[in-house]
Amino acid sequence: MPSKGAPNMLPNVLPHAGSDHVPVLAEEVRELLAVRPGDTVVDATFGAGGHARVLAQDLAGSGKLVAIDRDPGAKPYFDRFKAGAGVEVRFLRGDFALVLSQLAGNGVKADAVLLDLGISSMQVDRPERGFSYATDAPLDMRMDPSSETTAATIVNTWEERELVTIFRRYGEERYATQIARAIVRTRAERSFTRTGELVDTIKLAIPTPARFGEGHPAKRVFQALRIAVNDELGQLEAALPAALEMLRPGGRLAVISFHSLEDRIVKRFVAAEAKGCTCPPDFPVCVCGKEPTLRSLTRKPVRPGAQETDVNPRAASARLRAAVKV
């Protein structure tokens, strides 16, 4: 399974011995989560189970691993993982924001929670999922194929200014305005149904030199659509407090992000929880009484070393942050 792509685009696991997988920053995740035998581990982005396999090893035959993924395509990987896990395992299909808050609401406690954000190559490598700009396919991009909004929904129905906003914000697309205008003009005649039609429209909307610039001209718009279709930032915002609630004191949270917006959400969350008091700065004394709930374990985000990016250049944009519940 290939790894995460040019900034934020591709999955973060490499092919290894056929069906086995090498996850990004695995050793660093392992050290920071410090899983011990008997622990309960939650892998909230199971994917192909690369990280789960590493963490299950640290359980050394005693403990529990809960795997979450919204994509039913992760289940066969889980079944394979389960056969050799050596510990109690469970697969919960659904959005991690919802599943984590349900687990927390039911009083389930964890010693380690991992979020490895973005899409996996099992998603990007299946053309029919519509994540890839490289192959003509239905304009879909849903991680959960039962959810309502597809990339086609957004491209065909969102207002031009909303398209500009997501292309700029989630894709950092320079030609957001031109591309959104071209989409709206094209869809007035016929709806978009295929990735190929969108790629052609993007190519025609941008200046000729930009078509041959760095990376594929549709890369940033596809990234933006994927983030919007799957509400990736909203999911993360909602998942972090639920994960914190689930953690036992001394329990650890690790998040790998591939986009600066995701990393900022994690950084701010950890900083706010580590600070405790939420009183306005001009209050002479604290009246809210809020105590710190997290201690950061990573002052700066952990990045993959040259050794990892040499083998897997597409892991280069990964940023890992971790914290311990106090």
Ligand X SMILES: C[S@@+](CC[C@H](N)C(=O)[O-])C[C@H]1O[C@@H](n2cnc3c(N)ncnc32)[C@H](O)[C@@H]1O
Q: Which residues bind ligand X (CB under 6 A)?
A: 11-13, 21, 23, 45, 47-51, 68-71, 74, 95-96, 116, 118-120, 143, 235
Q: How far is the CB of 196 from ligand X (least distance, A)?
A: 24
Least spacing, CB of residue 99 vs ligand X, in Å: 7
How far apart are alpha carbons 152 and 129 in whole angstroms?
12
For residue 262, count other CB atoms closer than 10 A to its CB: 23
Backbone angles phi, psi at 200, to 5 degrees: -60, -45
Distances (CA, A) of 241 to 74, 97, 325: 25, 9, 12
**Nearest to ligand X of 12, 317 (CB atom):** 12
In this structure, are residues 3 and 12 in contact, taking their beta carbons and an 8 Å threshold? yes
3 state SS of 129? helix
Name residues whose C-beta falls within 8 Å of residue 255's C-beta, 6 or more positions apart in sequence. 114, 115, 116, 117, 236, 240, 262, 266, 320, 321, 322
Q: How far is the CB of 116 from ligand X (least distance, A)?
A: 4
Q: Which residue number, 21 or 219, has a Cβ lying nearer to ligand X?
A: 21
Minimum Å gap between C-beta 79 and ligand X is 14
By beta-carbon proximity to ligand X, the closer residue of 117 and 164 is 117
Question: Smaller CB distance to ligand X: residue 47 or 63?
Answer: 47
Q: How far is the CB of 45 from ligand X (least distance, A)?
A: 3
> How far apart are CB 223 and ligand X at their closest, in Å?
14
User: Which C-beta is closer to ligand X: that of 10 or that of 221?
Assistant: 10
CA-wise closest residue to 294 among 264, 266, 320, 315: 266
Q: For ligand X, which is the closer residue by CB, 151 or 176?
A: 151
Phi, psi of 4 (to 5 degrees): -50, 145
